[in-house]
């Protein structure tokens, strides 16, 4: 494998043109799109329009004139094809944490005689924190965890709801959504999937796989901007059976009737609560539009190829430096990032950032590289591993400045 | 009172220069800043910087480099002086609805033997919907309401938490925060104040008045942009006693340790949940900065003068057309908007909008005019009432196009 080979692959990449949809700083290799997606060019113009024309000039009239009021449903419907759902099964609102809380507390009420909310240890911690809070609040509900290889064995007549993250934020391991959902259903339990590290990268077929409930992140592969609102999915057949406990006027059947009594809106809209943060919400719309015309199977095929190239180059160029790949090599068993364990992961990550290769560190000892098929090329992977190898060969990561921690590390 | 008198008052207005902090469309009289505040000029430049430089160029590094991670506390601390609180008693997060839910569910747990969550009928409906959801979820809690003149009589040994909106969204009536909080405390109950229609206009002294819990809106008088995140206040002495039930990683004591077990952050930060919507959050920072150097007593004095002028001109110019003022004339008993009841409020409001005077309609029969002291002048009030009088005199509001309802009405 030579640089020429790699460039030839970029030249033949059917998704190459998608890179032009993004503003990426010159010289930077950005392998953290699984944490914060890059800036779509369309978002720059759109955000100016939203701020200066819609907020500044149309002011309150924008709720009607620019259909701000319809944005949660409209953007949800645009996310739906990316996850294999119907347009009216998805809505954008709040954060992943808040949406998890909404769905957990509404779903467990369907089976009050089943006391167990089941998850896995090491799930993304916000999922476990939300679950613990819900379990403390809901009478007779308790949170239990089982390691992923014993999840199916742990399902039983006590299981109310299974809460899992589809692609693990650290290792990149991926659950078999269809199989796990089927097993839970067989035990009489619902499943709630967190798609934060899946949506926009990994093939998703929620309807086909029988998924009942899901949430997902807007600011990772969806390129919705920092802290973009999240989405939630409720299968059509469950929507009218779930009564939200975390309520708000935007999820009322008639928000502008200002009635004292709560009447849930029909369908997915009942899962709205307060007024959505419009600047962030409309930036997410630009992010979702960055997938316009993209064949998600082609995106996944490219993710696989980027992963294989990354793994092969690390094996070839970084051998003997203690990097241990913790992400499964089988594409069916993983997401779209590759992670390595190393005792000095933090310092190596900082040295990479100084060398204009952005990955991220996940405590205590993992470096994670996001492989975003829309805007990464094969040459980016080549450059990243070349710089990584150099940092390891020279031991430059031992420079004390790379041990300095920020607030976010 | 002549137009010259009114212009002379504008010339002598000590807050006149604040108007230049905002972009207001030429010719428009914007009396809806209590629903969506006007665009601060600083927000235009700041939002470009946040999108293009911070998101686009610094990307994930902005969490440290541009202190995105500290924004909820930093902006909270900037709101604190506007409400008479200490900087570490306020934090910005989520929406008013979600923050109400957080505080209600955490606060009622302090007195599990007290079953009543008390509010008033006709409170802003999201407050009642959130309260009803919390009451259904928390064992042995029930929502009761009492009209405002019987609230104090309704307080008793069963009262757990009193939930009130300080300034009523429709009528503009204002509670005596100190007196009501004292009465609730006397009965052994906590009080949670919704400051959505107060903050940025009405004098607030939460510490002095003994307030324990509060939430407030970022997109009204604070000029934070459409759907701006909300804030919440917890008095210092209560912070460590409240255990959030709606949790998330941002409220964890060590968010980047990725630990399974939930440990609440010390102090006000525990009331964060998920990742905040940064574009909307940083626009709110510009909104709050529009109050820099503003003496809130001077702002309130101007609000009173704007109100008195509005009321006097309506009495003089619109008599006999059926407008009934439903806002108390005594400034101590009201907020910063003036509302009128009229059987054709909707059509009159639409005719005003067509005449470039933006107020808003509140079902079933109220027109509401927000009096924002930072960017309204006395001549704006003159112009608004002149156009209102013309619409009533000519009966132009009867034009069928003014009866057409949008999604948001």
Q: Give the pLDDT confidence of B266-306 residue by residue, as tens digits.
A: 999 999 999 999 999 999 999 999 999 999 999 999 999 99
Taking the CA of residue B305 and the nearest CA in chain A, the distance in Å comes to 25
According to the model, what pLDDT value does residue A406 have?
Answer: 87
Residue B341 pLDDT greater than 80, yes or no: yes
Are A262 and B360 a contacting pair at CB < 8 A? no
Distance, in angstroms, between A1 CA and closest chain B CA? 31
| In a domain? residue B40 | no
The partner residues of B361 in beta bridges, in order of sequence, read: B367
Among the three residues A237, A259, A289, which one is the final residue of a domain in this structure?
A289
A321 Cα to chain B: minimum distance (Å): 25
Within a domain: residue A408?
Answer: no
Do A313 and A242 lie in a common domain? Answer: no
> What's the domain count of chain B?
2
State how far residue B150 is from chain A, nearest Cα, in angstroms. Answer: 18
Res A338: pLDDT: 98
Calculate the average pLDDT of chain A.
97
Give a yes or no: residue B36 inside a domain.
no
> pLDDT at position A1, please?
85
Query: Is B220 annotated in the active site?
Result: yes
Q: In terms of domains, do A101 and A238 share one?
A: yes
CATH code, domain with B365: 3.90.1150.10
Q: Taking the CA atoms of B98, B99, B102 and B108 in sequence, report the sign of the dihedral they define.
A: negative
**Region class of B346: left (phi > 0), else alpha (psi between -120 and 50), else beta:** alpha
Asked whether residue A409 carries a pLDDT value surpassing 80, the answer given is: no
CB under 8 Å to A191, separation ≥6 — which residues?
A161, A162, A163, A164, A180, A181, A184, A185, A211, A212, A213
Average pLDDT in the A304-318 region? 98
Size of interface A-B (CB pairs under 8 A): 305
- Region A46-75 average pLDDT: 98
List the catalytic residue out of A220, A270, A302, A334: A220
Domain end among A244, A273, A289: A289
Encode pLDDT of A184-226 as tens digits.
999 999 999 999 999 999 999 999 999 999 999 999 999 999 9
Residues A65 and A10 in one domain: no
- Residue B82: is its pLDDT beyond 90? yes
**B326/B352 same-domain check:** yes
Taking an 8 Å cut-off on Cβ atoms, the answer to whether B133 and A247 are in contact is yes
| Of A89, A55, A74, residue with least CA distance to A278 | A55
pLDDT, mean of residues B318-327: 97
- Which residue in this structure is represented by tokens 């069916």? A332
**Nearest neighbour of A279 by CB, restricted to B69, B283, B409:** B283
Domain containing residue B306 = 3-30+294-403
Cα Rg of chain A (Å, integer): 22
How far apart CA B118 and CA B29 sit, in angstroms, is: 39
Catalytic annotation on A360?
no
Pick from B51, B139, B281: CB nearest A47: B51
My answer on whether B339 and B246 are in the same domain is no
Q: B169, B219, B369, B402: which is the annotated catalytic residue?
A: B219
- Look up B124 and say whether it is catalytic: yes
Q: What is the pLDDT of residues B210-256, one digit of tens each?
A: 999 999 999 999 999 999 999 999 999 999 999 999 999 999 999 99
Whether residues B219 and A275 touch (CB distance < 8 A) is answered with: yes
Please, what is the average pLDDT of chain B?
97
Does the pLDDT of residue B130 top 90, yes or no?
yes
Average pLDDT value for residue range A87-93: 98
Mean pLDDT of B6-30: 97
Same domain (yes/no): A154, A299: no
Mean pLDDT for the stretch of residues B154-164: 98
Q: CA nearest A276 in B: which residue? A: B227
Q: Is the pLDDT of residue A362 over 90?
A: yes
- What does the pLDDT average to over A131-141? 97
CB of A71 within 8 A of CB of A318? no
Tens of pLDDT along A23-53?
Answer: 999 999 999 999 999 999 999 999 999 999 9
Task: Give the chain A residue whose CA is nearest to the CA of B363.
Answer: A257
CB pair distance less than 8 Å for B363 and A257: yes
Look at residue B265 and tell me whether its pLDDT is greater than 80. Answer: yes
Both A145 and A228 in one domain: the answer is yes
pLDDT band for position A407 (cuts 50, 70, 90) = confident
The model's pTM: 0.98
- Whether A329 is covered by a domain: the verdict is yes
pLDDT value for B194: 98
Inter-chain touch A256–B408, beta carbons under 8 Å: yes
Query: Could you tell me if B16 and B52 lie in one domain?
Result: no
| Mean pLDDT calculated for residue range B316-330 | 97
Q: Nearest-CA neighbor of B296 among B187, B221, B244, B208?
A: B221
- Selected catalytic residue, list A219, A307, A310, A378: A219
Where does a domain end: B289, B321, B343? Answer: B289
What is the rounded average pLDDT of the residues B367-391? 98
**Residue B258 is assigned to a structural domain of this protein:** yes
Same domain, A283 and A303: no
Task: Say if B409 falls within a structural domain.
Answer: no
Cβ–Cβ below 8 Å for A256 and B121? no
Query: Residue A232's pLDDT band (boundaries 50, 70, 90)?
Result: very high
Residue B317 lies in a domain: yes
Residues β-bridged to residue B117: B143, B161
Tell whether A38 is covered by a domain.
Answer: no
Contacts of B57 in chain A (CB under 8 A): 25
Q: Find the CATH number of the domain harbouring A202.
A: 3.40.640.10
* Nearest in space to B169 (alpha carbons), one of B406, B394, B360, B395: B360
Query: pLDDT > 70: what percent of chain B?
Result: 100
Q: Hey, are the CB atoms on B278 and A225 less than 8 Å from each other?
A: yes
- Residue A268, pLDDT > 80, answer yes
Tell me, what's the pLDDT at B406? 87
Q: State whether B256 and B300 are in the same domain.
A: no
Q: Quick one: B243 and B97 in the same domain?
A: yes
Question: Do B85 and B16 sit in the same domain of this protein?
Answer: no
């Amino acid at each position: 494998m030579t640089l020429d080979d790699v460039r030839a692959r970029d030249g033949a990449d059917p998704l190459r043109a998608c890179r032009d949809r993004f503003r990426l700083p010159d010289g930077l290799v950005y392998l953290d799109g699984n944490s914060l997606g890059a800036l779509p060019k369309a978002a720059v113009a759109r955000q100016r329009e939203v701020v200066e024309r819609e907020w500044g000039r149309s002011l309150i009239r924008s709720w009607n004139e620019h259909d701000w009021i319809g944005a949660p449903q409209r953007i949800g419907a645009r996310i739906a094809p990316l996850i294999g759902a119907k347009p009216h099964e998805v809505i954008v609102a709040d954060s992943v944490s808040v949406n998890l809380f909404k769905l957990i507390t509404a779903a467990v009420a369907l089976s009050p005689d089943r006391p167990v909310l089941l998850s896995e240890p090491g799930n993304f911690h916000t999922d476990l924190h939300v679950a613990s809070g819900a379990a403390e609040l809901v009478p007779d509900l308790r949170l239990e965890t089982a390691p992923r290889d014993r999840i199916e064995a742990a399902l039983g007549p006590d299981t109310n709801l299974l809460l899992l993250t589809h692609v693990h934020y650290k290792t990149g391991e991926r659950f078999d959504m269809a199989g796990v959902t089927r097993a839970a259903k067989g035990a009489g339990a619902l499943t709630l999937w967190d798609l934060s590290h899946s949506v926009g990268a990994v093939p998703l077929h929620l309807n086909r796989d029988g998924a009942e409930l899901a949430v997902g992140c807007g600011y990772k592969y969806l390129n919705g901007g920092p802290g973009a609102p999240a989405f939630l999915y409720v299968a059509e057949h469950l929507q009218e059976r779930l009564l939200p406990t975390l309520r708000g006027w935007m999820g009322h059947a008639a928000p502008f009737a200002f009635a004292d009594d709560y009447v849930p809106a029909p369908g997915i809209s009942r899962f709205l609560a307060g007024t959505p943060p419009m600047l962030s919400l409309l930036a997410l719309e630009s992010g979702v539009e960055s997938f316009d015309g993209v064949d998600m199977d082609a995106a996944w095929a490219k993710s696989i190829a980027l992963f294989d190239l990354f793994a092969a180059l690390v094996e070839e160029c970084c051998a003997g430096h203690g990097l241990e790949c913790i992400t499964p090599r089988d594409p069916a068993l993983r997401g779209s990032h590759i992670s390595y364990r190393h005792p000095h992961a933090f310092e190596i990550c900082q040295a990479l950032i100084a060398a204009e290769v952005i990955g991220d560190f996940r405590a205590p000892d993992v470096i994670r590289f996001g492989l975003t098929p829309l805007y990464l090329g094969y040459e980016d992977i080549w450059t990243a591993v070349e710089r990584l190898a150099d940092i390891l060969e020279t031991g430059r990561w031992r420079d004390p400045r790379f041990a300095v921690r920020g607030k976010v590390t």
